Chain A
Amino acid sequence: DTEVTQTPKHLVMGMTNKKSLKCEQHMGHRAMYWYKQKAKKPPELMFVYSYEKLSINESVPSRFSPECPNSSLLNLHLHALQPEDSALYLCASSPRRTGEVYEQYFGPGTRLTVT
């Protein structure tokens, strides 16, 4: 099973709302990622968690707050977003072994619209 699930599939929120995106995988992967993808662009990396610890934060604004409560779950908490934050948010996971490269498996994404 190489499935990464994401909920919700679509989300519309106002600029004063607080919402969360959820990602789950049961492949035993120890690295999980959040990406942001704008229309007709490649995904842009936001955060990387390795063994449930934040290892990369690509200078993402603090209105995006990631959380990794356990090895299977990854959340992205959203607060006071701007309309330009509207995008497809993708979660991915991969095995993590030092010195080796493994492919990332992506979820279907959450389509976020900020009004």
Chain B
Amino acid sequence: GDSVTQMEGPVTLSEEAFLTINCTYTATGYPSLFWYVQYPGEGLQLLLKATKADDKGSNKGFEATYRKETTSFHLEKGSVQVSDSAVYFCALSLGGNTPLVFGKGTRLSVIA
């Protein structure tokens, strides 16, 4: 079946460090890929998306590139801030009525 695998957390970084959160997927079709962020006590917010191979999604300094050859969609940010502390979910969708398939989430803590 379709699945998403994310690196296990928690990830703890110092402010201004470089962030990478790995995400790989398995899908029977040609999925669209998403990163969602969940701040403490809140719902999920769409961070960025990519709908086809080699697309790069970007938002708020975060980037991820859809790599079909490696079935990956790794999240990166050049300089993290304390306010980036949250749980990050990688997800895929095959469209139509198929639901989002989420990874298990990666908790990021950024310390000043």
Total of A-B residue pairs, C-beta within 8 Å: 55
Instruction: Say if the beta carbon of A90 comes within 8 Å of chain B.
Output: yes
Please name the residue on chain B nearest to A42 by beta carbon.
B102
Counting chain A CB atoms within 10 Å of each CB, the highest count among B44, B96, B103 belongs to B44
Provide the bound-state CA to CA distance between A4 and B36, in Å.
15
- Taking CB atoms, residues of chain B closer than 8 Å to A55 are 97
Q: Tell whether A105 pairs with B42 under 8 Å between CB atoms, given A42-B89, A45-B100, A99-B96.
A: no
Q: Which residue on chain B has the smallest CB distance to residue A88? A: B43
A13 CB, nearest partner CB in chain B, Å: 20
Of B16-24, B45-53, B76-84, the segment with at least 4 beta carbons within 8 Å of chain A is B45-53
Chain A residues with a Cβ closer than 8 Å to the other chain, count: 27
* A window 61-115: CB within 8 A of B: 88, 90, 92, 98-101, 103-109
Question: Cβ of B42 and Cβ of A108 under 8 Å apart?
Answer: yes
Contact B104 A106 (CB under 8 A): no
Residue ranges of B at the interface with A (Cβ–Cβ < 8 Å): 31-32, 34, 36, 42-46, 49, 51, 89, 93-97, 99-100, 102-105, 107
23 pairs across A/B with beta carbons < 8 Å?
A: A33-B99, A40-B107, A41-B105, A42-B102, A42-B104, A43-B44, A43-B100, A45-B100, A55-B97, A56-B99, A58-B99, A90-B44, A100-B95, A101-B51, A103-B32, A103-B46, A103-B49, A106-B36, A106-B43, A106-B44, A106-B45, A108-B42, A109-B43
